[in-house]
Chains A and B, each alone.
Chain A
Amino acid sequence: MLLAPLTVSAMVVGIAQSIKEGLTRTRNAIFSRIAGLLGASEVTAATWEELEELLIQADVGVETTLHLVERLRRRASAEAIIRADALQAALREELRALLPSPSPLNLGNRPLDVILVVGVNGSGKTTSIAKLAYFYRQQGRRVLLAAADTFRAAATDQLSIWAERAGVNVITGAPGGDPGAVIFDSLQAARARGMDMVIADTAGRLHTQYNLMAELRKVRRVAAQNVAGAPHETLLVLDATTGQNALSQARHFLEAVEVTGVILAKLDSTAKGGMVFAISRELGLPVRFVGTGEKIGDLAPFDPDAFIAGLFDET
Chain B
Amino acid sequence: MFESLTDKLQAVFKRLGKRGVLREADVDEVLREIRLALLEADVHYKVVKDFIARVRERAVGAEITKSLTPAQQVVKIVREELVKTLGEPGRLELKGPAPYVIMLVGLQGSGKTTMAAKLARYLRHNGHFPMMVAADTYRPAAITQLEVLGRQLEIPVHSEGPSVPPPRICANGIQEARRRGCDVVILDTAGRLQINQEMMRELEEVKRTVKPVEVLLVADAMTGQEAVNVAAGFHQQVGLTGLILTKVDGDARGGAAISMRSVTGVPIKFLGTGEKTDALELFHPDRLASRILGMGDVLTLIERAEAAFDAEQAARLEQKLREATFDLEDFLEQLRQVRKMGPLTQILDMIPGLGRLAQSISPEVTDRQFKHVEAIILSMTPEERRNPRIINSSRKKRIARGSGTTVQEVNALLRQFRQMQDLMKQVGKGKKGLRGMLGMFG
A-B contact pairs, 23 of them (CB 8 A): A29-B229, A120-B222, A120-B250, A121-B247, A122-B108, A154-B145, A154-B148, A157-B141, A158-B141, A161-B141, A175-B148, A207-B251, A208-B250, A209-B343, A210-B367, A239-B109, A243-B224, A243-B227, A244-B40, A245-B222, A245-B251, A270-B230, A274-B224
B109 touches A154 (CB 8 A): no
Inter-subunit contact A158/B140 (CB<8 Å): yes
Query: B334: CB under 8 A from chain A?
Result: no
Whether A272 and B110, one on each chain, are in contact in the complex, defined by CB atoms closer than 8 angstroms, is no
Complex CA gap A246/B144 in Å reads 30
Is the pair B39, A62 in contact by a Cβ cutoff of 8 Å? yes
Query: Within 8 Å of chain A (Cβ to Cβ): is B15?
Result: no
Are B220 and A242 interface neighbours, CB within 8 A? yes
Assembled-state Cα–Cα distance A201/B145 (Å): 17
Contact pick for B193, options A121, A154, A269, CB 8 Å? A269
Q: Please pick, from B146, B220, B364, B367, the residue contacting A239 in the complex, using a CB distance under 8 A.
A: B220
Ranked nearest first, the 9 interchain pairs of A and B with the lowest CB-CB distance are A243-B224, A122-B109, A161-B140, A243-B42, A157-B141, A154-B145, A153-B148, A158-B141, A154-B144
Binds B, one of A53-61, A110-118, A131-139, A222-230: A53-61
Q: Separation in Å of the A140 CB from the closest CB of chain B?
A: 26
**Which chain B residues (105-150) contact chain A, with CB distance < 8 Å?**
107-111, 138-142, 144-149
Cβ–Cβ contact B139 & A158, under 8 A: yes
In Å, the complex CA distance between A151 and B146 comes to 14
Name the B residues within 8 Å of A25 (CB-CB): 195
Could you give, for residues 238-251 of chain B, a 1 whenever the CB lies within 8 Å of some chain A CB and a 0 otherwise? 00000000010111
Asked whether A271 and B40 contact (CB < 8 A) given A153-B148, A162-B140, the answer is no
Residues of B within 8 A of A154 (CB): 141-142, 144-145, 147-148
The answer to whether A206 and B140 have CB atoms under 8 Å apart is: no
Does B275 make an interface contact (CB < 8 A)?
A: yes
A-facing mask of B341-371, CB < 8 A → 1, else 0? Answer: 0010010000000000000000110010000
- Most B-side CB within 10 Å, residue of A58, A151, A244: A244
In the complex the two chains form, is A206's CB within 8 Å of B250's CB? yes
Look across to chain B and name the residue whose beta carbon is closest to the beta carbon of A53. B45
A122 touches B220 (CB 8 A): yes
Chain A 182-228 interface residues, beta-carbon cutoff 8 Å to B:
206-210
A243 in contact with B251 (CB, 8 Å): no
Q: Please report which residues of chain A, range 264-315, place their CB below 8 angstroms from some CB of chain B when the two chains form the complex.
A: 266, 268-272, 274-275, 294
Which B residues touch A241, using CB under 8 A? 107, 220, 223-224, 226, 230
Tell me if A41 is interfacial: C-beta within 8 Å of chain B: no
Interface residues of B (CB under 8 A from A): 1, 36, 39-42, 44-45, 107-111, 138-142, 144-149, 152, 193-195, 220, 222-227, 229-230, 247, 249-253, 255-256, 275, 343, 346, 363-364, 367
CB within 8 Å of B: which of A61-82?
61-62
In contact, B226 and A207 (Cβ under 8 angstroms):
no
Query: Given the complex of chains A and B, what is the CA–CA distance between A241 and B367 in angstroms?
Result: 33
- A residues contacting the other copy or chain, number (CB 8 A): 48
How far, in Å, is A266 (CB) from chain B's closest CB?
A: 7
Give the interface SS of chain B, mostly helix, strand, loop or mixed: loop
Assess the A272–B226 pair: CB atoms within 8 A: yes
Residue among A243, A271, A272, A275 with the most chain B CB within 10 A? A243
Q: CB distance A57 to B220 under 8 Å? A: no
* A59 to B, closest residue via Cβ: B224
**Contact across chains for A245 and B367 when beta carbons are under 8 A apart:** no
Let me know if A206 and B247 touch, CB within 8 A.
yes
> Would you call A179 an interface residue if the criterion is a C-beta within 8 Å of the partner chain's C-beta atoms?
no
Question: Which B residue sits closest to A121, measured CB to CB?
Answer: B247
Contacts of A61 in B (CB 8 A): 40
Residue A124 at the B interface, CB < 8 A?
Answer: yes
Which single residue of chain A is at the shortest CB-CB distance from B113?
A153
Bound CA–CA A151/B39 (angstroms)? 35
Which residue in chain A gives the minimum CB-CB distance to B49?
Answer: A53
A271/B45 contact (C-beta < 8 A), A56-B39, A62-B40, A120-B247 known: no
Contact of A242 among B39, B140, B224 (CB under 8 A): B224
Q: Does A248 contact B (CB under 8 A)?
A: yes
Query: Closest Cβ of chain A: how far from B50's Cβ, in Å?
Result: 13
* Residues in B neighbouring A124, C-beta threshold 8 A: 108-109
- Judged by a CB distance under 8 angstroms, whether A152 is at the interface is yes
Shortest B356–chain A CB gap in Å is 16
Give the residues in chain A near B275, CB-CB below 8 Å.
Answer: 121, 151
Name the A residues within 8 Å of B247 (CB-CB). 120-122, 206
Q: From the candidates A157, A207, A271, A294, name the one contacting B224 in the complex (CB within 8 A).
A: A271
Distance of A294 Cα from B142 Cα, bound (Å): 15
Q: Kindly identify which residue among B36, B193, B367 contacts A270, using a CB–CB cutoff of 8 Å.
A: B193
Partner of A266, one of B45, B108, B141, B229: B108
